[in-house]
Amino acid sequence: MSAPATAPVDGPTDKTGDKTGGETGGETGDKTAGKTARKRYGVRGLLPVTPVVVFLLALFVVPLVRVFALSLHPVDANGYPLDGYSFVQYRRVFTESFFSEALWHSLGTALLVTVLCVLLGFPAAYALSRARQGVVRTLLFVAVVSPLLTSVVVRSYGWVVLFSANGAVNRVLVGLGLLDQPARLLTSYFVVVVSVVHVMLPFAILPLTTALGGIDDNLRRASRSLGAGPVRTFWKVTVPLSLPGIAVGATVVFPLAMGIYITPLLVGGANQPLAGLRVYSQITSVFDYPVAAALSLTLLVLTLLGVSALGTGFRFWERRLHG
């Protein structure tokens, strides 16, 4: 008799390998699907910012490129742009004192205005941050914000009325016997600085208020409990912790003060040695557009360098304070 047929016996099944391979394949598929989903979401996520990008390109980048191209054009004896490209306009900006001194004067004025805005804005921001919710805080906030709701031309004409020959300031000085006759204040550099500080002050107060309002009162109490007086607590606790607000306020005020021209024009006249007024006069009076373009771009670069220097200085100060 023949032996019964034996059914083939399979070898041991490697279930672990099958499981590992399945998990690896699943993870790979999940990663691929995740990358695809993120890529798809990233494309859709760019759609909301597309109008802003188009707006900036159309109204900032493109005009800036055209201004740069205009600044490279030489001009004839009447100031009309000629064909070709040249750096002669930039050479004029740096070699002619009429333009170069205006750049340095603008830099000095912007730094002075920035320092004054921070120094004058700090007490106002401190009072606003410490005021309790209620009528007093609301009135303080309205007093700070209301200038921003008024045209800069209107505010500048307010200073013209105050400092004119028949204005309140001259009448007070003459009435007190300090002056025999009204002084010519409107063309002075002092009045220009005062009016520009008034225009820029809210931009320093608001970030300072935010920074001071975020300081925990327990830190001041801890400082006083350790024996520090109010003055030492202010310099060792309040000022270092308000450094972000100081940095933001200075970074906002400085570039605005570098290019301001409406307020100095109305209060001090067109002869003030400021770069913004030089650009204005070259466009409206001399009609030398290439040199105006070169001066405006040089002012822009100088402003960016100034902002960068301010940022570096504040970072260095912060490292020294906090280690």
CA angle 288, 294, 297 (to 5 degrees): 135
User: Residue 297: what pLDDT?
Assistant: 95
Task: Tell me the residue length of the chain.
Answer: 323
Looking at the chain, the whole-number percentage of residues with pLDDT higher than 70 is: 85
More confident residue, 27 or 252: 252
Are 307 and 254 contacting, i.e. CB atoms less than 8 angstroms apart?
Answer: yes
CA distance 68 to 70: 5
Inside any domain, residue 153: yes
User: Residue 28: what pLDDT?
Assistant: 54
Inside any domain, residue 149: yes
Inside any domain, residue 35: no
- Label residue 11 by pLDDT band (50, 70, 90): very low
Cβ neighbour number for residue 14 with a 10 Å cutoff? 10
Name the domain count of the chain: 1
The letter for the amino acid at 277 is L
Inside any domain, residue 11: no
Sequence-distant (6+) residues with CB within 8 A of 318 are 243
User: Residue 7: what pLDDT?
Assistant: 46
Inside any domain, residue 50: no
- Label residue 142 by pLDDT band (50, 70, 90): confident
Question: 169 is in which domain, residue-wise?
Answer: 103-275+292-322
In order of 104, 186, 187, 188, 297, the CA distances from 278 in angstroms are 12, 19, 16, 17, 13
In order of 12, 189, 194, the CA distances from 112 in angstroms are 87, 12, 11
Count CA atoms within 13 Å of residue 197 on its CB side.
18
Inside any domain, residue 159: yes
User: Helix, strand or coil for residue 81?
Assistant: strand
**Distance separating the N- and C-terminal Cα atoms of the chain:** 98
CA angle 88, 94, 96 (to 5 degrees): 85
Which pTM value belongs to this model?
0.80
Lowest average pLDDT, out of 29-33, 52-56, 240-244, 298-302, goes to 29-33
| Domain CATH number, residue 242 | 1.10.3720.10
Inside any domain, residue 155: yes
Question: Nearest-CA neighbor of 190 among 174, 168, 169?
Answer: 169
> Both tokens of residue 231?
């003055």
pLDDT in tens, 50-68: 888 888 888 888 889 999 9
CA distance 111 to 190: 15
Question: Nearest-CA neighbor of 212 among 227, 234, 197, 232?
Answer: 234
Inside any domain, residue 313: yes
123-130 contacts, C-beta under 8 A, 24 or more apart: 124/201, 124/205, 125/204, 125/205, 125/206, 125/208, 125/209, 125/211, 125/212, 125/245, 126/208, 126/212, 126/238, 128/205, 128/209, 129/209, 129/212, 129/213, 130/212
Question: Nearest-CA neighbor of 289 among 297, 268, 57, 120?
Answer: 297
Tell me phi and psi for residue 288, to 5 degrees: -100, 85
| Arithmetic mean of pLDDT over the chain | 84
